[in-house]
Amino acid sequence: MSKIISQNDFDSKQNADSIRIFFERFRISSILKASNVRKTKGIAPAQILMYAFALVFKNKSMYMDMLLGSNTATFAKDTYYRFMKSISINWIRFTTLLASNICRDVIAPATSEDRVNALIVDDSIFSRACSKKVEMLSKIYDHANKKFLYGFRMLTLGWTDGNTFLPVNQILLSSSNENKLISSNDVDRRSNGFKRRKLSVMKGTDAMIELIKEARKAMIPADYVLFDTWFASPKTLTAVERLGYDVIAMIKRSDKMSFIYRGGKYTLKELYKMNRKRRGRSKYLLSLVVEIQKDDRKIPVKIVFVRNRSNRKDYLCLISTDYNIDEEEMIRIYSKRWKIEVFFKVCKSYLKLANECRSLSYDAMTAHTAVVFARYMMLAVDNRESEDPRTLGELFTYFVDELADVTFVQAFRMIMELFSDMMAERFELGEEEISSMIDTFISALTPSMQRQLQVS
């Protein structure tokens, strides 16, 4: 994707045209209206968003773009700042509806209905290391670098069909201790800005459920929800299952977590010791169907113990609320979770997720994150259509359907015509006799084939 991002102004016009086509194709203006964006006077909101969208492709910040005189916008910087800091815009709904439109218009027409789609949940560090007056700022622990820093946990919900990844929505999580936060006191409690702040101080697992509800409301197609050990617990498994999704997750071998098996309660380590493992080069070591319980609610789950490739004496544990799923299929589906890690890398390295916005406003940081997500969606669509020939448009779909009809109908007619001509030429049979032979042949076929021939 980095090759798509321009490093000079040579193809700036081509980038501008691509952005304009993307905005028109997926009806960004309508999505903004549905996200509570209203034009009171002056510049259209879609025009301001398009300008913010294009900054990374110019390789300039908004300040430098206006300072150097290369700004093509017809509005002042204050207009841009007011738009980004607006407390009325529902940015969670904006990215969710955009991802839904892309799924419906681009991916679904070229994808089989039997293909497994999944929602993916994960978080990443949104660092504001040199800031002390940023609104809602909190001190968090970076598990990758093993140190504390100032910033947010960017809880992200994504969608994938195994080939394309789309970021659906996100929330910048802060500390649950509201006394330690720098917060604005003039935020209207009825606004989307206040709802964002309220969501940001929730536990990560509770905020995850709210993001999944937004995706479900937008009818984004998904069969499973995938997440790692940070979110895997009986509480989250049962909560997601209530929403109508199955879960596939990696789970910790914690002594505090027990499972109901053969009338008793056991930890993962005890279950592993109790049962016989598969020998040889099997893809998994052990598979069990157990029960988890939360608030007097029991649901059956399947636990699969997989050998750790980096340490063959160790093992990893996968859990799924779909206890009928095949073990190898479960492992294959969970491997799709890696796509969200690639997404985080692209956003931070190429789309300026953490470096472009230096605002102290929590709303501006949320708006900036939504813009970065929209940029990634455009690159994902471009990448999909450049590699998949089935996305060449409606004309290709018509040709495919016509080709399938011609293959069956015309082939059968040609065979029957050839048979009739041969019988009439060699055996000098009449039309009635040939028709009787063809009817006898068709009556000997299976009922399903007879119905297909009648339809054709």
Delimit the domains of the chain by residue range: 91-221+335-391, 394-455
Tokens of 341: 């890690």
Distance CA 102, CA 43 (A): 26
CA neighbor of 232 nearest in space, from 122, 130, 312, 354 = 122
The confidence score (pLDDT) of residue 290 equals 95
pLDDT score, position 220: 95
pTM of the model: 0.80
Q: Directed axis angle between helix 12-25 and helix 362-387, to 10°?
A: 100
The Cα-based distances of 409 to 61, 400, 414 in angstroms read 60, 14, 9
- Which of the residues in the chain have pLDDT under 70? 1-11, 69-73, 178-185, 388-412, 448, 451-456
Going by their DSSP bridges, the two strands 224-227 and 246-250 should be labelled as: parallel
Distance CA 322, CA 333 (A): 12
Torsion, Cα 356 358 361 363, to 10 degrees, reads: 10
pLDDT of residue 456: 54
d(CA 15, CA 21): 10
Which pLDDT does position 118 carry in this prediction? 95
State the Cα torsion 173-174-176-178 to the nearest 10°. -140
DSSP 62-124: HHHHHHTT----SS-HHHHHHHHT-SS--HHHHHHHHHHHHIIIIIGGGS-TTSPPEEEEEEE
Q: How far is 306 from 102, CA to CA, in rounded Å?
A: 35
- Residue 367, both tokens: 């708006």
C-alpha pair distances (Å), 108 with each of 100, 161, 164, 381: 10, 10, 11, 12
Helix (H) or strand (E) holding 380, with range, is: helix 362-387
